[in-house]
């Protein structure tokens, strides 16, 4: 059963038949060609990103600061482990959520807290009562200070949004310049077998619904930590 499919399609075709709309008023002569694009044309207009990796990491760090994302660069995995242990102690974590992922597993090697692992399914209330969710990611996006996660890289849909503190581990090789590159990356990585969930996370959860005043942690995490491993 698909409702009024035939009728709606008929109405659409009727509306468009021999009834061309005026083209948009555009000032750039190249924009007609740009409409038949692969996402590269927009790079001319979108916010600028540096050419080199250090420039991109600097941009990511700068935007993270504005977003109140806690961005931490570490030289080695053992430094990353030290950092996560410190976070766990300071924030008095009692239980955390994580998933099967090479870097996440390595990061949590020395953590002795109860861990709810999501990869084979979990009880919602069990994950909800975790103090933090530790995940990997697909890429980091320099242009926006964003983190792209998916079912595969972040242990499903909820692990990166349900616990009140989200910690992401990434490597510098995962830094891409912009959103276009992020989409190219997922197309290459997954082919046609996309995971059912892909998300750009740009800072901790927020709202401005009361008098347009910024409050962090509306429904998702109040804190977002990105650990970048050199």
Partner 1 sequence: MASQSSDFQTLSRRYTADKGFRAFIQKGMSGYYKKRDQNKANFQDWQGARDLAAEIKYEAINHLDKYLLEFEEKITARGAKVFWAQNAEAAREYILKVAKENNVHSIIKSKTMTSEEIHLNDALEKQGFGVVESDLGEYIVQLRKEAPFHLVFPAMHLTRRQISDLFQKELGSEPTDEPEKLTMIARDIMRRKYCEADMGISGTNFAIAETGMISITENEGNARLTTSLPKIHVALLGIEKVLPKLEDLSLFLPMLATAGAGQTMTCYNTMYAGPRQLGEPDGPEQMHIVLLDNRRTELLADAEQRDSLGCIRCGACLNICPIFKNVGGYSYGTTYGGPIGSVITPHLRGLKDWKHLSAASSLCGACTEACPVKIDLHHHLLQNRRNGAKTAPNPLEKISFGGFSLMMGHPSLYRLASGLGRIFQPLQGLVNGTILDPLRSWTDSRKLPTLAPQSFHEQWKKQRNRKL
Contacts (CB under 8 A) with partner 1, residues 54-93: 63
**Pairing verdict, β 215-216 and 206-207:** antiparallel
Helix (H) or strand (E) segment spanning residue 176:
strand 175-176
On the 0-12 / 13-18 / 19+ scale of CB atoms within 10 A, 73 is middle
Closest approach of Cβ 150 to partner 1, in Å? 9
Closest approach of Cβ 159 to partner 1, in Å? 8
Binder of partner 1 out of 62, 78, 109, 215 (CB under 8 A): 215
Q: Among residues 15 and 89, whose Cβ is nearest to partner 1?
A: 15
Q: Among residues 12 and 78, whose Cβ is nearest to partner 1?
A: 12
Closest approach of Cβ 60 to partner 1, in Å? 12
**Pairing verdict, β 165-171 and 132-135:** parallel
Binder of partner 1 out of 140, 204, 227, 229 (CB under 8 A): 204
Q: Among residues 45 and 75, whose Cβ is nearest to partner 1?
A: 45
Residue 92 Ramachandran class (φ > 0 left, ψ -120 to 50 alpha, else beta): left
On the 0-12 / 13-18 / 19+ scale of CB atoms within 10 A, 31 is middle
Binder of partner 1 out of 60, 194, 223, 226 (CB under 8 A): 194
Segment near partner 1 (CB under 8 A), from 87-95, 106-114, 132-140, 203-211? 203-211
**189 contacts partner 1 (rule: CB under 8 A):** no
DSSP string across 74-111: ESSHHHHHHHHHHHHHHTT---EEE-S-HHHHHHTTT-
Contacts of partner 1 in 100-129 (CB under 8 A):
118-122, 124-125, 128
Q: Among residues 61 and 194, whose Cβ is nearest to partner 1?
A: 194
Q: Among residues 62 and 82, whose Cβ is nearest to partner 1?
A: 62
State phi, psi for 55 to the nearest 5 degrees. Answer: -60, -40
Count of residues that bind partner 1 according to CB under 8 A: 91
* Number of CB atoms found within 10 A of residue 43's CB: 16
Binder of partner 1 out of 61, 171, 183, 185 (CB under 8 A): 183
On the 0-12 / 13-18 / 19+ scale of CB atoms within 10 A, 74 is middle
Contacts of partner 1 in 7-46 (CB under 8 A):
7-9, 11-16, 19-28, 31-32, 34-35, 37-39, 41-42, 44-46
Closest approach of Cβ 129 to partner 1, in Å? 10
């Amino acid at each position: 059963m698909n409702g009024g499919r035939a009728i709606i399609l008929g109405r659409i075709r009727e509306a468009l038949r021999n009834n061309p709309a005026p083209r948009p008023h555009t000032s750039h002569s190249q924009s007609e060609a740009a409409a038949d694009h692969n996402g590269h044309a927009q790079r001319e207009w979108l916010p600028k990103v540096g050419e080199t990796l250090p420039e991109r990491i600097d941009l990511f760090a700068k935007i993270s600061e504005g977003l109140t994302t806690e961005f931490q660069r570490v030289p080695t995995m053992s430094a990353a482990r030290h950092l996560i242990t410190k976070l766990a102690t300071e924030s008095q974590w009692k239980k955390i959520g994580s998933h099967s992922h090479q870097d996440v597993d390595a990061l949590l090697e020395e953590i002795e807290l109860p861990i709810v692992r999501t990869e084979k399914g979990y009880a919602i209330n069990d994950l909800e009562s975790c103090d933090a969710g530790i995940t990997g990611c697909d890429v980091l996006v320099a242009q926006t200070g964003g983190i792209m996660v998916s079912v595969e890289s972040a242990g499903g849909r909820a692990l990166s949004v349900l616990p009140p503190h989200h910690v992401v581990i990434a490597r510098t090789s995962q830094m891409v310049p912009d959103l276009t590159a992020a989409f190219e990356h997922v197309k290459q990585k997954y082919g046609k077998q996309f995971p059912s969930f892909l998300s750009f996370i740009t800072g901790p959860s927020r709202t401005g619904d009361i008098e347009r005043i910024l409050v962090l942690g509306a429904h998702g995490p109040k804190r977002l930590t990105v650990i970048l491993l050199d």
